[in-house]
A = this chain, B = another copy of it.
Amino acid sequence: MKSFHPPVRTLMGPGPSDVNPRILEALSRPTIGHLDPAFIQMMDEIKQLLQYAFKTENELTMPVSAPGSAGMETVFVNLIERGDKVIICQNGVFGGRMKENVQRCGAEAIMVEDPWSSTIDIDKAEQALTDNPDAKAIAFVHAETSTGTRSDVEALCGLAAKYDCLSIVDAVTSLGGIELLVDEWGIDAIYSGTQKCLSCVPGLSPVSFSERAARSIRERKSKVQSWFLDLNLVMGYWGNDAKRSYHHTAPVNSLYALHESLLILHEEGLQNAWDRHDLNHAALVVGLESLGLKFVVDKEFRLPQLNVVSFPTSVDDAAVRAALLNDYNLEIGSGLGTLAGSVWRIGLMGFASNKSNVLFCISALGNVLATQGIKVEVSKAVTAAQAVYSA
């Protein structure tokens, strides 16, 4: 066996996305101790930068030392107790994962289901809240990574406030890519991932909790079922006390990388980052539609960072993705769950959301579709996309 030298890919799937070289460089800086005063100071900066990224003043804002799935679990196991009732609006894979989490807490999941690729129906959500006045929380996904659909977080959080329950938001794919206003929208608990629009390496999950949610955690009747994710313990390490106590060994180098990625976002500015995602999405839409591909989500609910398109039934899904990977070093995503085999998921996330990637993807995908007998005019598609940038 030899050292592993990965191929150099362009990552335009559902994540991980291309990592900014500045972040890879930060990642490889010398490891120091997780209680080193210099490290504690950097942790404090990460908390501030995360507050900026989430648009929140929540004190309980920090990265969980594991991927987004662990961030989801952190939120549920800390907020939910045995016997609680949680309303979950599901319109894709990740709503189903929320259900699993709730049930494994010994709580009841009330499911409100919408068709995949549709946005969450606000009226149905309100009906569920009316029918279940004892629900502790309503949970939903902001940007469904399985379908490329955006939900109306502001309206759903408004319902949570009206019916006096906690709002839980999955922002794994939204943070840094589309508008997300934790305080203004009244989000009580939110989790994200580092490997999507933050363009950082996978392995960490930023979370944030309102004071109302934090109080609910402090005042639990039972212990959190996970020791590793118990925020009442974790905050002895990530909290604001001058003296930090050891809970677990933090993933030191990954946190260097997160610090750098948040700094890059801060330098660009949130609004500029959101605008950039919109612009590159607009160009990709023009190019892909020009190749004859169809977007499966209605325009107003599409995610600019995750473009889900269906392809002609004559096309061999796996062969196209393999050709892109092997001949172009380009990764795009396959369909997930009920959409497996019928769509591709093309990410334009964070650092990967740029003009070069847009034009490269249209060109490569067009060439590969041509080998599948699909009539495409590749240069026309590229030119059309290019024109979006000049407009």
Contacts and interface: CB of A to CB of B under 8 A. Distances in A.
A37 B5 CA distance: 13
B97 A227 contact: yes
A331 interface: yes
B331 A16 contact: no
A31 B49 contact: no
A226 B73 contact: yes
B248 A68 contact: yes
Interface stretch (A7-15, A180-188, A282-290, A365-373): A7-15
A13 B33 contact: yes
Interface in A8-27: 8-9, 11, 13, 15-16, 18-19, 22, 24-27
A33 B249 contact: no
Interface string A16-51: 101100101111111111101111001001001100
Contacts of A29: 4-6, 24
A104 B48 CA distance: 32
A49 B1 contact: yes
B38 A7 contact: yes
A32 B93 CA distance: 23
A320 to B, nearest CB: 15
Contacts of A263: 1-3
A227 B101 contact: yes
Interface stretch (A161-169, A253-261, A307-315): A253-261
Contact of A249 (B3, B22, B68): B68
A227 B73 contact: yes
A388 interface: no
A227 B66 CA distance: 13
A158 to B, nearest CB: 29
Contacts of A360: none
A61 interface: no
Given A28-B27, A104-B227, A228-B69, A45 B4 contact: yes
Contact of A252 (B16, B25, B250): B16
Contacts of A226: 73, 104, 225-226
B227 A100 contact: yes
B11 A33 contact: yes
Interface stretch (A108-116, A195-203, A212-220): A195-203
A15 B246 CA distance: 12
B201 A32 contact: no
A6 B104 contact: no
A248 B69 contact: yes
A224 interface: yes
Interface in A52-95: 65-70, 72-73
A160 to B, nearest CB: 23
18 contacts: A3-B263, A4-B26, A9-B33, A16-B31, A27-B27, A31-B202, A65-B66, A66-B66, A67-B249, A69-B228, A70-B70, A72-B227, A100-B227, A101-B227, A201-B252, A201-B254, A225-B226, A246-B336
